[in-house]
């Protein structure tokens, strides 16, 4: 990829999109095409078509999506499947139609069956039932991956898909109800520390195994993939390391310096018992994860605190 080409990052304000922008700028990108949701609603086909007709991006990173944790997925199933299908359909089609050289679509590890063998290989896709707690999002992402494959097969369009593991880092969503496990725990432990609460309740048993990767690691992998000439249309991206939810909670509690107890609410769903991606397809091509979990979480907590300080400062100024 020519770093000075017209590069469109869809979803540049989100967790992944903002990391991609940081990485591109560090490499010297000087022709980024960035639009907020207010400037360009990707669920509206006419708006997307007008943007691609006018701007004609040469490379596209499709990181825009409606995302959320178990609570959000179960509360808004219609929005999760409708909005994600619309976004990816509009962007992939218009990118091909207007001559983009390459498109990278962000999938998700949740596209794989709930109980498939571990670690999860790319070929396990569609070999069993999905995890019910996020099936609407997963089905949309599967459709996006298959659309990339279909456009490669029929039109020769260089559309690829990266399936990342669970992500965390600067720019994450720390909403108390709609966030994923890492930002949810960071916020919960921070608020418990501020309130001097004697314990923090954590959903589930704490026994499920999860793999986590810093979003800046993912951004590095995505630049590797956009420059890679491999014909693979779908590639797992992960750290290759797993940890129990209970151990993750203890690492976050340490990063926050919360001294209270951890109480596990077993009446809440655990989700998938284990989910570790097989990243051998990517590692054999020369890329491996670099950011370790504990320092990555500590850095994310510092970012979270800086955001709270910035909001407080703005409120004072007003």
**Over the stretch 234-276, which tens digit does the pLDDT of each residue have?**
999 999 999 999 999 999 999 999 999 999 999 988 877 888 9
Is 230 marked as binding a ligand? Answer: no
Residue 124's CB is within 10 A of a number of other CB atoms, namely 16
Q: Which residues contact 218 (CB under 8 A, 6 or more apart)?
A: 16, 19, 162, 164, 167, 237
Q: Report the pLDDT value the prediction gives residue 318, as an integer from 0 to 100.
A: 42
- Residue 67 near residue 173, CB atoms below 8 Å: yes
**Over the stretch 73-114, which tens digit does the pLDDT of each residue have?**
888 999 999 999 999 999 999 999 999 999 999 999 989 998
Is 108 marked as binding a ligand? Answer: yes
Whether 31 maps to a domain, the answer reads: yes
Q: Report the pLDDT value the prediction gives residue 271, as an integer from 0 to 100.
A: 74
Q: Which residues contact 235 (CB under 8 A, 6 or more apart)?
A: 122, 160, 161, 162, 163, 225, 281, 282
Is 103 marked as binding a ligand? Answer: no
State which residues form the domain around 18.
7-317
Q: Which residues contact 257 (CB under 8 A, 6 or more apart)?
A: 193
Q: Would the pLDDT of 316 be above 50?
A: no
Q: Which domain CATH number covers 170?
A: 3.40.50.720
Q: Would the pLDDT of 232 be above 80?
A: no
Q: Which residues contact 206 (CB under 8 A, 6 or more apart)?
A: 244, 245, 246, 249, 262, 264
Q: Report the pLDDT value the prediction gives residue 309, as an integer from 0 to 100.
A: 82
d(CA 50, CA 69): 33
Q: Report the pLDDT value the prediction gives residue 313, as an integer from 0 to 100.
A: 56
Whether 26 maps to a domain, the answer reads: yes
Among the listed residues 8, 137, 258, 301, the single catalytic one is 137
Q: Report the pLDDT value the prediction gives residue 291, as an integer from 0 to 100.
A: 97
CA 217 to chain centre: 12
Q: Would the pLDDT of 285 be above 90?
A: yes
d(CA 219, CA 221): 5
Is 137 annotated as catalytic?
A: yes
Whether 2 maps to a domain, the answer reads: no
Whether 153 maps to a domain, the answer reads: yes
Whether 1 maps to a domain, the answer reads: no
At residue 191, the 3 state secondary structure works out as helix
Q: Report the pLDDT value the prediction gives residue 317, as an integer from 0 to 100.
A: 43
**Over the stretch 27-50, which tens digit does the pLDDT of each residue have?**
999 999 999 999 999 999 999 999
Number of separate domains in the chain:
1
Whether 176 maps to a domain, the answer reads: yes
Is 14 marked as binding a ligand? Answer: yes
d(CA 300, CA 307): 11
């Amino acid at each position: 990829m020519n770093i000075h080409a017209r590069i469109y990052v869809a979803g540049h304000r989100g967790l992944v999109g903002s990391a991609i922008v940081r990485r591109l700028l560090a490499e010297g990108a000087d022709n980024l095409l960035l639009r907020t949701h207010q400037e360009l609603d990707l669920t509206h086909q006419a708006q997307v078509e007008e943007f691609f007709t006018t701007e004609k991006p040469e490379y596209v990173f499709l990181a825009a999506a409606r995302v959320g944790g178990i609570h959000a997925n179960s509360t808004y199933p219609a929005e999760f499947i409708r909005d994600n299908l619309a976004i990816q359909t509009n962007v992939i089609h218009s990118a091909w139609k207007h001559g983009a050289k390459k498109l990278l679509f962000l999938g998700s590890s949740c596209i794989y069956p709930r109980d498939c063998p571990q670690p999860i290989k790319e070929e396990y896709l569609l070999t069993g039932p999905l995890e019910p707690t996020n099936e609407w999002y997963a089905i949309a992402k599967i459709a996006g991956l298959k659309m990339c494959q279909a456009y490669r097969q029929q039109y020769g369009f260089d559309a690829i898909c990266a399936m990342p593991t669970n992500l965390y880092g600067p720019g994450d969503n720390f909403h108390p109800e709609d966030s994923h496990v890492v930002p949810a725990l960071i916020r919960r432990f921070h608020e418990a520390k501020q309130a001097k609460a004697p314990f923090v309740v954590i959903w589930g048993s704490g026994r499920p195994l999860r793999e986590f990767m810093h979003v800046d690691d993912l951004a590095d992998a995505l630049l590797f993939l956009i420059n890679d000439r491999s014909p693979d249309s779908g590639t797992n991206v992960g750290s290759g390391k797993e940890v129990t939810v209970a151990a993750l909670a203890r690492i976050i509690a340490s990063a926050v310096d919360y001294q209270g107890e951890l109480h596990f609410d077993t009446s809440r769903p655990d989700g998938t018992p284990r989910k570790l991606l097989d990243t051998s397809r990517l590692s054999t091509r020369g890329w491996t994860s670099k950011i370790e979990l504990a320092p990555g979480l500590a850095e994310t907590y510092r970012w979270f605190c800086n955001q709270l300080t910035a909001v407080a400062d703005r409120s004072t100024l007003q």
